[in-house]
Amino acid sequence: MLETAASASSPRAAAAAAVVSSPRRGGAAAHHHRRWSPPSFRACLVALWLVGFGFVILWQGTSVGRVRLYTRPPMPKRAAASLGQWVASPPVYDLREFGAVGDGRTVNTAAFESAIAAIAERGGGRLTVPPGRWLTAPFNLTSHMTLFLAAGAEILGIQDERYWPLMSPLPSYGYGREHKGPRYGSLIHGQDLKDVTITGHNGTINGQGQSWWIKFRRKLLNHTRGPLVQLMRSSDIIISNITLRDSPFWTLHMYDCKNITISETTILAPIAGAPNTDGIDPDSCENVVIKNCYISVGDDGIAIKSGWDQYGIAYGRPSANIAIQNVVIRSMVSAGVSIGSEMSGGVTNVLVENVHVWDSRRGVRIKTAPGRGAYVTNVMYRNITLENVRVGIVIKTDYNEHPDEGFDPKAVPTIGNISYTSIHGHRVRVPVRIQGSAEIPVKNVTFHDMSIGIVDKKHHVFQCSFVQGQVIGYVFPMPCKNLDLYDERRELVKQSTLQNISDIDYSF
């Protein structure tokens, strides 16, 4: 390398050498006084290279320790343990690992219990239920758990009620919903849990409720029937991408829970002959989202509750901050979306949006009675479609079912700030029936952008009693005389002085 560099610069080096060796003008004395010349280009290059190389060696020797110090600091033991805990994947178990047999005949309760115990011991995990028909008695979930139902998986509830454990009555319902004393537990149960997910590839949880319905009608049961899935006093719950069907009683009951998302879920029961098979019942729950679901059942599709009469008043837990969006519902026996009648802890801040109710007895309903106490306030219905529905919009204040004689008839609820916007439909017999009373008047109700095709044009089908509120813009059919009229600019057109008149007609 150096030789090559020198060779390349040899003409200049040779010229410099010639200058150095030539005598100065002035005779022989010039031989003793040589003329100074700068060092050769080759010499400068070599010197610079050596100096640079030396600096590199020096830098490496003095700075390597510092680089290691800042790029790989020693990790405290607690931090290392925490990091290891964070990156560790939760365990995944297959139900068959615990001896389960998916033939529809073998009882797999012990396998479910063992698998969930293993998850609890590990601090969380996932239990996969593979394709098959997995018969079981009721079992309990645990915190930080995912129950995953694969495509073709079906959990079957055992039909012999002797396998169903008894539980204390719900405190906000008093002695029990159907019978005094203990009640049956749910097929899948959990209480005081956090971070629970039930999901899958549209696997099914089947309560096989037919025997329960028959025994209930024949009065052969001594205790209140149990739900299909019930979570109590729990938080951070996700239920998605599954099918729930044929519950003995309410299908999906969330009791005193917070932070719930229910989505992409199908809920089915016969539309007749399956008593009290509500689809989804948020009961004294907060921060609930129900979206993208299909529900066809033998009672209310969705029923928001918060306790019953004096027991619900004493328990004092409202249902609040609930959004119901993009749901299709059929309920030939009851209503698509109900609030109450058990609402004695209060219901507030509810949005019902983009809901299609078809082939149903009622569309959207609020029901209560003297003795319930509490309130139903700040409820917004928006973009509701009603198709072949007997009564579209209902508020009923005399739903007189009580747990016992101990209720206080002077404990009357407050109903107000209810709005209905973009309500459309066809083949509806009675679009609106709002039945307030002197004891329980309905206040500040708003209708805006409503057009419903009616079946019977001979009767008055927009019915009101003890109602105060307003109609904004175009509303069809013609609204009742109890309401103030405003144009689209929200300027008053006509003020009503007839809020307390009644034209409720149950004859058709």
- Is residue 104 within 8 A of residue 135, CB to CB? The reply is yes
Distance CA 154, CA 277 (A): 19
Peptide bond connecting 341 to the previous residue in cis, omega within 30 degrees of 0:
yes
Distance CA 31, CA 506 (A): 138
Distance CA 294, CA 284 (A): 23
Distance CA 346, CA 256 (A): 13
Distance CA 460, CA 462 (A): 6
Distance of CA 199 to the CA centre of its chain: 12
Catalytic residue among 281, 299, 300, 309: 299
- Is residue 492 within 8 A of residue 486, CB to CB? The reply is yes
Catalytic residue flag (residue 456)? no
Distance CA 134, CA 118 (A): 19
- Is residue 5 within 8 A of residue 40, CB to CB? The reply is no
Distance of CA 238 to the CA centre of its chain: 6
Strand partners, 337: 302, 364
Strand partners, 401: none
- Other C-beta atoms closer than 10 Å to the C-beta of 61 total 9
Distance CA 35, CA 20 (A): 6
- N residues, the chain: 508
Hey, what amino acid is at 420? Y
Whole-number CA gyration radius for the chain: 39
- Other C-beta atoms closer than 10 Å to the C-beta of 238 total 17
- Is residue 108 within 8 A of residue 155, CB to CB? The reply is no
- Is residue 332 within 8 A of residue 370, CB to CB? The reply is no
- Is residue 272 within 8 A of residue 332, CB to CB? The reply is yes
Distance CA 396, CA 375 (A): 14
Task: Give the pair of three-digit tokens for residue 198.
Answer: 């039930």
List CB contacts of 57: < 8 A, sequence separation 6 or more: none
Q: What is the dihedral of CA 210, 216, 222, 224, to 10 degrees?
A: 80
Phi, psi torsion values for 349, nearest 5 degrees: 60, 70
Distance of CA 87 to the CA centre of its chain: 26
Beta strands in 67-116 (DSSP E): 92-94, 103-107
Catalytic residues: 299
